[in-house]
Each structure stands twice: as structure tokens, then as C-alpha cells.
Amino acid sequence: MSKSVELVFDFVSPNAYLVWWPLREICARCDAELVVAPVFLAGMHRITGNAPPMIRDKDVRGKNEYAQLEMDRFIAKHGLTQYRLHPQFPFNSITLQRMLVAACEDGRGVQFAEGLLRPIWEDGIDVTDPQALG
């Protein structure tokens, strides 16, 4: 396979879950390989002085509500009706990201990410519990 799509990825981002399934379909349709590039989003926010949109934009009247409306439209369009905002959101993803780095080094990054996205964003597993992650 000569074509690839690189996805900059952190488990803590709801968008990681939401984009995953449509992107997998596009890759399959275009005979392209999905490549996961792990990042630590909280660290990126810290060094850039940024924040998650729902925090950064909380004082902008209507912005978070409109963002939610757009997210709901995306969910409906792509049939992602099992999505639930994680009960610990925003959770610390550093352990998950370290595990993902190791899986990527083994060539199993995509499988590892795909194996945890549903439990995290549909079932709300406790991401701080090693038993749940296992």
C-alpha cells in the first residue's frame, strides 16, 4: 500500500473517536493505510497556552452550544450513536498515550487505538484503572 493517512491522535479528544470510523472507511475505500501519530494533547495545550475549546470558549456566548450542534450533526450523519462524553472528561491520557507509543513501535498502533476507542467513548471505562484497560 503506497498511500497513507497520518492521524495525529490522543485518546482524550472526543474528535479522536468521532473521526476514527469515517476515516477508516475512507482509507479502505481509497486503499490507504491509516498511520497513528500519538501526541499528548494536554502537553501541547500547556506549551502553547491553549485550552480545550469548551474551556477556552466558555465565555463566548453560543459558541459551545453551536459546536455541540455541529458535533451532533456529525454523529447523526456517520451513525455514531453509541458515542457518550466520557464521565471523567477531560481525563489524563498520558498512560494511554505511552501505551499507544509502544503499540506503534510494535506496528500495532491502529489495532491498539481501535481496541480502546469504543470502551472509552461508548462504555466510559475508567481510564485510570489498569484492570479496565487490560
| pLDDT band with cut points at 50, 70 and 90 for residue 1 | low
SS3 4: strand
Contact 81, 73 (CB under 8 A): no
- Kindly tell me the burial class for residue 21, based on how many C-beta atoms sit within 10 Å of its own C-beta (0-12, 13-18, 19 or more): middle
What's the rounded Cα separation, in Å, for the pair 59 and 88?
22
What number is the average pLDDT over the span 91-100? 95
Look at residue 49 in the predicted model and tell me its pLDDT: 84
Contact 132, 88 (CB under 8 A): no
pLDDT per residue over 63-95, tens digit each? 889 989 999 999 999 999 999 999 999 999 999
What's the rounded Cα separation, in Å, for the pair 110 and 100?
9
Q: Write the DSSP string, 10-67.
A: -TT-HHHHHHHHHHHHHHHHTTEEEEEEE--HHHHHHHHT---HHHHTTTSTTHHHHH
What are the grid coordinates assigned to 122, written together? 461508548
pLDDT per residue over 24-74, tens digit each? 999 999 999 999 999 999 888 889 888 777 777 788 898 889 989 999 999
Look at residue 126 in the predicted model and tell me its pLDDT: 95
Cα 12 → chain centroid: 6
